[in-house]
Structure 1
Amino acid sequence: MTVTVGHDSAKTRQTLSAGGASVAYYSIPAAQAAGLGDFSKLPAALKVVLENMLRFEDGKTVTLDDIRAFGDWAKLGGKNPREIAYRPARVLMQDFTGVPAVVDLAAMRDGILGLKGSAAKINPLVPVDLVIDHSVMIDEFGTPRAFQANVDREYERNMERYVFLKWGQKAFNNFRVVPPGTGICHQVNLEYLAQTVWTDTDQTGAEVAYPDTLVGTDSHTTMVNGLAVLGWGVGGIEAEAAMLGQPVSMLIPEVVGFKLTGTMREGTTATDLVLKVVQMLRKHGVVNKFVEFYGEGLDHLPLADRATIANMAPEYGATCGFFPIDDETLRYLRQTGRDEGRIALVEAYAKANGMWRGPDYDPIYTSTLHLDMSEIVPAISGPKRPQDYLPLTDAKASFAKEMEASFKRPMGVEVAVKGEDYKLSSGKVVIASITSCTNTSNPYVLIGAGLVARKARALGLNRKPWVKTSLAPGSQVVSEYLNAAGLQEDLDAVGFNLVGYGCTTCIGNSGPLQPEISAAIAEGDLVATAVLSGNRNFEGRISPDVRANYLASPPLVVAYALAGDMNIDLTTEPLGTGSNGQPVYLKDIWPTNKEIADLVHATVTREAFLKKYADVFKGDTKWQGVQVTEAETYDWPATSTYIQNPPYFRGMAATPGTIKNISGARILALLGDMITTDHISPAGSFKATTPAGKYLNERQVPVSEFNSYGARRGNHEVMMRGTFANIRIKNEMLDGVEGGYTKGPDGAQTSIFDAAMAYVEQGTPTVIFGGIEYGAGSSRDWAAKGTALLGVKAVIAESFERIHRSNLVGMGVIPFEFTNGDTRKSLGLKGDELVSIEGLDGDLKPLSTVPCHITYADGSVKTIQIKCRIDTEIEIEYVEHGGVLHYVLRNLAAA
């Protein structure tokens, strides 16, 4: 791989010696000495971006004024929102979001042929790693054969996708696939792929060192910030543009400093810490901002705990949650098997370029927060959002309040479960899952969970029979050290058998509940609960049978499986009765910090990482047996219900169009606050009665083979039918109706998909209205792709989440924000209005305010001003072209 660097007008390129080798690098102190500004007090996270400017400065996409702007940022107290062109070193994908990205690349190869270009021009220009981690579902659990059974089922369901990905691995340059059953992309990235300081040859043949940076097609890409690697989640659309050589257009961010002091008290975990951090940063407000952690507390915070905090940056709303390079960074690189020469380079580079966190590290921040870690208490978060922080002492009372206030259901309703000797009631825990990248990367909480299981087993406790338990580690190293410590046997004994290596429950791949349990929940209209060690607990995400979802540390997940009920105060009431007939309390089975630390030290070894990552791209015999052709373009199977050639480039002209006003648009949906991409984007399972289910039924696919929306992300026909189809979404055009419904052109209730297609057939544009933080949550490209394919021309909301706003623009859908205090409620919108937006067809500037005319059912018209959230000049071009991929394709065809 060759990196193309700029022409370095300020002569900042210097030579660095480390580990017995010399490399070139771009020096921030040299840029300061050249008079470009005082950069000495910049946060390390921002210095990474500044170095990117130095390395790619070419007088066009990056200018000396862009570099000087970083000095002005410091002088202005941490604010200077100048637009810059940033180029990440690499791209990381998981298979749910990666499959449609590779589908688009394959479609672009077809599309460029239509423009008389060469298919060989379509390749990633930066390294891309795709980790297959989102496809395994928990069909079988609680048995020794659960892992193999789930893997076998995974291959049966997903072979079409895997054939396609393996073709892509052969067809495209700079594209690697980590096979199924290896681990979660963020954990594999943290433990193996990331280097903290990257090296490559430039166009002169010289080796250049620079900070390891990336964008990922999953919002939790931020996890690697714990290793001082600057990365964040983008939509698949942005990631594809980055793969194809387009810089990421961004504004120089504000950086919030989060000072950590003190040490964690006995009995608390990194999960307890991160849930408090999420609450504090959500309250502070960090959307579109970097967060950097600093302070003497980092001297006592293991890198695994840092990665846990960094992972949940999307939950506190930040672009990233960065930890600077220090001694702990080097220790972790060494422990996880990185080369000693690379470790020496990381230290030398960080110290030479002002990115090292030593005792005197004290940069300027835009604003700051402080947390004394000794104040952290055991906690969970729920029942609907990661920021809904609950000290464990308040969990029982909070659930009772939620039953009355949120779920509006009485407590105490009991339903007998057919064929079983127990009854279910609201609050019963039916899913307890140790899952997701957030915590399975952290040996302290995994070993802690194993010790809770060991102590519970010794006292004769077991999971309650209605609880579906699972352990889905983020890498094979976890199994290595759990087995070395003898803890997997204890976890097995209380139901936490290995079910697979991947994102399972956290993304809705929890699999079906026992049919009799599901029936009992439905019969009593019960509020069943799930407790998981994940990072997401939005409505409808975990299981269609579960209404209340709680995030918790792995040890607490085990404890809740033993208790089986949210209506128990784990801090004061017994979890169950031991084999000696005595009550067993949480304090009886909770390990000490020293017990955990001693086992981590003894079992989490460099040798374990070297062993498990020795041949990470090889895969098991099933993967090795997948046969593919080596054709330059993909032979799209006409009958495939998993992979279809998307319509984006069909009949595309060689030249772009212009942005047009929106006239006489109908409202497709009126949506409230915090409408997440989980509400918008198709995810999880779906029924035969849905538009997507009907599509598959028409193609003779039985319900048992529906798989999930995520697995079918390579088929736009399925995905557009699942857009806005979340079972918990509420369209305010309809009173009290949950699910993806609206009013069609005839005013009758129908599915959003059917209404959208009827409007498309009429040639009538549509718009969506929303509230605060529209598009929060995961960086799912299909939330934007589906919106575009439904014919939506604009989304008008009070505010947008960063990634989703960008993705809408990338698909040619224009985001607008209300101004002057207007909202859908203050305007009295009912959904039967006509909407026209002017001021788009002239010389539209980024962030322009334009008039919007709303014609009510009685014929009255109200004109309001709305802000066009096309934020930059390049985004104007993207929309003119019809989307970022069209922009790239036309440029490549013309090159």
Structure 2
Amino acid sequence: MKKKLTIENQEYSYFSLNELSQKTGSDLARLPYSIRILLENILRQQTAESEEAIPHLLNWNLPGAEKSEIPFKPGRVILQDLTGGAAIVDLASLRKAVKDLGKDPNVINPEIPVDLVIDHSVQVDFAGSTAAFQKNEELEFKRNMERYRFFKWAEQSFDSFRVVPPATGIVHQVNLEYLADVVTERDAGEEKLLFPDTLVGTDSHTTMINALGVLGWGVGGIEAEAGMLGQPCYLTTPDVIGVRLTGRLKNGATATDLALTLTKILREKNVVGKFVEYFGEGLAHLTVSDRSVVANMAPEYGATCGFFPIDQETLNYLAFSGRDAAQQAVIEAYVKENQFYYDAENEADYTDVIELNLSEIEPSLAGPKRPQDLVPLSKVKQGFIDSLSLPNGNSGYGLQPEEAQKQATIQYEDGTTETIETGAVVIASITSCTNTSNPFIMLSAGLLAKNAVEKGLKVKRYVKTSLSPGSKVATRYFEDAGLLPYLEQLGFDVIGYGCMTCVGNSGPLDPAISKTIQDENLLVSAVLSGNRNFEGRIHADVKAGYLAAPHLVIAYALAGNVQVDLTTEALGYNEAGESIYLKDIMPSNEEVEQLVSQYVRTDLYKEEYGSVFTSNQHWNEIEITPTTTYEWDPESTYIANPPYFDGFESEIKPIQGLTRQRVLAKLGDSITTDHLSPVGAIPMKSPAGLYLTEHNVRPQAFNSYGSRRGNHEVMVRGTLNNIRLRNELADGKEGGYTKYLPTGEIMPIYDASNKYIADNTGLLILAGNDYGMGSSRDWAAKGVHLLGVKTVIAKSFERIHRSNLLMMGVLPLQFLEGQDADSLGLTGEESFDFAIDNELEPNSLVQVRATDPEGKVTEFQATARFESQTEINYYRNKGILPMVLRNKIR
């Protein structure tokens, strides 16, 4: 199947899909483009395993076609410093384990290119001033120097591993604007081999790169490690949901509104674990920057990926973003030759097709607790008011209707006072790759800021404003267009280049504001241009979160409260007392497009990315001594050798039944990885805070959970410790608490876990629908594993988290259709036995026996959520890391 292709006098080799189609008699034109990329990937592997998968992909959508296990090998891996940092710690631990077993530690080395972008550590400690950026960066390096030294060691000790330094850009935007090749050229002996650029990443929003026709998705850190070490990432032959786009966005509607609308539609369509592929005449009216907003949100609508095939817009973007001209020629010739270029005349077959007319998209937000909860701009006010009295849960707060009129007075240290009301916007942040990758959206915000300043509008003191662009390119075009001073006058100074508010690194509120909110139990809000607004994620004091386009973030900062209807009510008043409305300062599409064409230039990309690895002087000054294995510091509270290989045995033991398991937590629907995994600030009196205090770390130096992901002692203490967690075994106490069943005592989950582990009692979690939705945090699985959890029984699982659980040796079981813990009468106080053995098969039924304290027995069946024999092999090995170690030492 290998053929030759000559491009500008250079000969290349490639694996031909046309030849495969002719040989097999299959119709290549009917295959979705994402399936074609998988097919080429499998064809190129040329193994017995991949040979078996080829017919399944060629016939993926035929009636009665069987699902097959696809051994996908990504061309590269991309990491961010929190999830990715933990993965590199595991690689260092693997090296030590190999050395301890008397083998060569150099066998642990990335076998494909790996890039780590440091973008998740910076916090919004300082905002609202031009000095904020420098202060935040200095504090970032002070807090994280130990971690950054570790990354420097890894960069110099591992092959094919690069680090993009801090204060450079957000991982997905750097990937889109610079790292992605679209078509990879690799030396293969004496020939040059071409193949599609593919990847997996340790951030769930790795999907953003699908906007560029690059197939990739988020995986847990442990699965990424397997990919680095040459192991395939297995997936079942995917369903592909086609979204036919027609029309074009109307004036006032943005790609953000489109992405939020699709998130609602596709969540309702239940595309979890499926590919989504966009096609239709509407593609021609969406730039790659527009597409990137939609592709970025794939985790929010639940899909494995939201893929846009390569077309003329893709090629335009590659030229515009400064890719090498010779590289562009190779890309265009290869994708057209090997049938990866979008053909509007021949529509592919899809599992199902959803129709969406772009002209019907309306300005919208999402909230107050989930990204799939779309709210038209005109209904945000009433929707928020309604949510106050809805039952406490995904859509409501369980309060009285009069809560909407609640007010309090902030007493600032300088003696001034300010009135704050329910719904007050205390955080307004333009942040995250979702929108900052899009110059049209960003310049819309800049123009709106200019118009607002010129109309005399100001932002209230209690609103914490911030601007964290996804790359330095965005700052450059703000400066060149003369818009940065206007943003700064409204408090939207550039405060750093990182995920920041979107990942929970929103920093502290003014102490007086925070005290008022807590003392008065005031329900306040945040509006941000990110992709996640789960309860408790953005800030501990903020219960309501709304996702919005950057210009609406500024508008709500001016209004100061989500109880202002921006479509009919004034944002504020000028010095003459005249009302100023959103329509008065909203720029037209034509105005914004003129700025984009004038100030977003190719030379900006070339200049900023020309020195991307060397431009940060703080990073350049870090000196380390290269060694083959990392020298672990036993006193470190940042980097520690994890216990995954304690008691390691070279031989695998048979799978045995699990007995006498007790419930650690009984949880409801939509439990996110934010609920499970440690995230955000570390409370002083939490188990993790107490641990750090015992190790002489001052509370001011606690940093965040994310920054300490390389230390398992901190992370296990923070697992299941979200302040908004509602565990039904905690007798109504909110947060990381449970009932220690032998005594009935309510205590921190970590403390109860230790007692159970001391008694050699296995643990389980009961949960509802969408268990593990949200970010691809491997610690959501690592943490529960270290807490002693052996089993999770849920009504349904999010794709990445289910995979992460079994890769840590935790058994994922799913209630049968129509059943859950409540319908079966399970209170969580039972003792559970699971009848499993070495004959376990994918999706086989497992007999479960639950015995309550009075001796009453409830028996039921649950589905073992293994999708392949490979996943069962991970479980049999007690996790992927022990499996990799066994393979490497043989």
Fold-level similarity (TM above 0.5): yes
Q: CA deviation at 1:651?
A: 3.3
Q: What amino acid is the match of 1:796?
A: I
1:712 aligns with 2:708: yes
In the aligned structure 2, how far is the partner of 1:878 from the partner of 1:116?
Answer: 24
1:539 aligns with 2:535: yes
In the aligned structure 1, how far is the partner of 2:286 from the partner of 2:771?
Answer: 34
Q: What amino acid is the match of 1:724?
A: L
Q: CA deviation at 1:112?
A: 0.6
1:56 aligns with 2:45: yes
1:192 aligns with 2:185: no
Q: CA deviation at 1:660?
A: 1.7
1:135 alignment partner, SS class: coil
Q: CA deviation at 1:154?
A: 0.3
In the aligned structure 2, how far is the partner of 1:828 from the partner of 1:74?
Answer: 40
Equivalent in the alignment of 1:402: 387
Equivalent in the alignment of 2:574: 578
1:546 alignment partner, SS class: coil
Aligned length: 878
In the aligned structure 2, how far is the partner of 1:338 from the partner of 1:728?
Answer: 46
Equivalent in the alignment of 2:142: 156
Equivalent in the alignment of 2:54: 67
1:363 alignment partner, SS class: coil
In the aligned structure 1, how far is the partner of 2:363 from the partner of 2:10?
Answer: 47
Q: CA deviation at 1:724?
A: 0.6
1:890 aligns with 2:886: yes
1:763 aligns with 2:791: no
Equivalent in the alignment of 1:3: none
1:274 aligns with 2:259: yes
Give the share of equivalent positions with the same residue, in percent: 49
Equivalent in the alignment of 1:76: 63
Deviations 1:717-746 (A, max 9, x none): 000001110110100113332101101142
In the aligned structure 1, how far is the partner of 2:847 from the partner of 2:788?
Answer: 22
Match of 1:317 among 274, 279, 302: 302
Equivalent in the alignment of 2:244: 259
Q: CA deviation at 1:670?
A: 0.3
Please say which of residues 159-168 and 33-42 is displaced more in the overlay: 33-42
Equivalent in the alignment of 2:423: 427
1:37 aligns with 2:26: yes
In the aligned structure 1, how far is the partner of 2:384 from the partner of 2:242?
Answer: 34
1:866 aligns with 2:862: yes
Listed as ranges, the matches of 1:806-817 within 5 Å are 806-817=803-814
1:73 alignment partner, SS class: coil
2:313 alignment partner, SS class: helix
In the aligned structure 2, how far is the partner of 1:688 from the partner of 1:559?
Answer: 35
In the aligned structure 2, how far is the partner of 1:575 from the partner of 1:123?
Answer: 56
1:131 aligns with 2:117: yes
Q: CA deviation at 1:16?
A: 1.6
Equivalent in the alignment of 2:17: 28
Decide whether the 8 Å contact of 2:574 with 2:580 is kept in 1: yes
1:215 alignment partner, SS class: strand
Decide whether the 8 Å contact of 1:720 with 1:790 is kept in 2: yes
Q: CA deviation at 1:581?
A: 2.4
Equivalent in the alignment of 1:779: 776
In the aligned structure 1, how far is the partner of 2:68 from the partner of 2:417?
Answer: 65
In the aligned structure 1, how far is the partner of 2:652 from the partner of 2:819?
Answer: 34
Equivalent in the alignment of 1:290: 275
1:141 aligns with 2:127: yes
Match of 2:823 among 812, 822, 826: 826
Equivalent in the alignment of 1:8: none
Listed as ranges, the matches of 1:624-773 within 5 Å are 624-744=620-740, 745-773=742-770
Report the CA distance shift for 1:698/1:293 in structure 2 as closer, same or farther (over 3 A). same
Listed as ranges, the matches of 1:100-119 within 5 Å are 100-119=86-105
Equivalent in the alignment of 2:393: none
Q: What amino acid is the match of 1:227?
A: L
In the aligned structure 2, how far is the partner of 1:388 from the partner of 1:141?
Answer: 29
Match of 1:587 among 573, 583, 590: 583
Q: CA deviation at 1:820?
A: 4.8
Report the CA distance shift for 1:477/1:655 in structure 2 as closer, same or farther (over 3 A). same
1:75 alignment partner, SS class: coil
In the aligned structure 1, how far is the partner of 2:134 from the partner of 2:55?
Answer: 57
Cα-Cα RMSD: 1.1
Equivalent in the alignment of 1:550: 546
Q: CA deviation at 1:200?
A: 0.4
Deviations 1:45-88 (A, max 9, x none): 110000011101222x311x3111122224339x6421111100
Q: CA deviation at 1:577?
A: 0.3
1:455 aligns with 2:451: yes
In the aligned structure 2, how far is the partner of 1:722 from the partner of 1:148?
Answer: 30
TM-score after normalising by structure 1: 0.97
In the aligned structure 2, how far is the partner of 1:246 from the partner of 1:100?
Answer: 18
Decide whether the 8 Å contact of 2:29 with 2:346 is kept in 1: no
Decide whether the 8 Å contact of 1:116 with 1:893 is kept in 2: no
1:348 aligns with 2:338: no
2:57 alignment partner, SS class: helix
1:411 alignment partner, SS class: helix
Listed as ranges, the matches of 1:471-510 within 5 Å are 471-510=467-506
In the aligned structure 1, how far is the partner of 2:6 from the partner of 2:258?
Answer: 39
In the aligned structure 2, how far is the partner of 1:690 from the partner of 1:205?
Answer: 59
Equivalent in the alignment of 1:98: 84
Deviations 1:288-316 (A, max 9, x none): 10000000001111110001000000000
Deviations 1:642-665 (A, max 9, x none): 111101113312222222211010
1:413 aligns with 2:400: no
Decide whether the 8 Å contact of 2:155 with 2:161 is kept in 1: yes
In the aligned structure 1, how far is the partner of 2:889 from the partner of 2:572?
Answer: 68
2:90 alignment partner, SS class: helix
Q: What amino acid is the match of 2:186?
A: D
Deviations 1:192-222 (A, max 9, x none): 00011111012x3311111000000000000
1:845 aligns with 2:830: no
Equivalent in the alignment of 2:788: 791
2:404 alignment partner, SS class: coil
Equivalent in the alignment of 2:560: 564
Equivalent in the alignment of 1:606: 602
Q: What amino acid is the match of 2:579?
A: P
In the aligned structure 2, how far is the partner of 1:849 from the partner of 1:71?
Answer: 30
Q: What amino acid is the match of 1:693?
A: G
Decide whether the 8 Å contact of 2:446 with 2:483 is kept in 1: yes
1:486 alignment partner, SS class: coil
Q: 5+ unaligned residues in a row in structure 1: which ranges? A: 1-11
In the aligned structure 1, how far is the partner of 2:817 from the partner of 2:317?
Answer: 50
2:888 alignment partner, SS class: helix
Q: CA deviation at 1:339?
A: 1.0
TM-score after normalising by structure 2: 0.98
1:383 aligns with 2:368: yes
Q: CA deviation at 1:36?
A: 6.0
Decide whether the 8 Å contact of 1:111 with 1:650 is kept in 2: no
1:175 aligns with 2:161: yes
In the aligned structure 2, how far is the partner of 1:544 from the partner of 1:496?
Answer: 22
2:664 alignment partner, SS class: strand
Decide whether the 8 Å contact of 1:485 with 1:603 is kept in 2: yes
1:18 aligns with 2:3: no
Decide whether the 8 Å contact of 1:413 with 1:524 is kept in 2: no
Decide whether the 8 Å contact of 2:236 with 2:867 is kept in 1: no
Q: 5+ unaligned residues in a row in structure 2: which ranges? A: 391-395
Report the CA distance shift for 1:782/1:36 in structure 2 as closer, same or farther (over 3 A). farther
Equivalent in the alignment of 2:323: 338
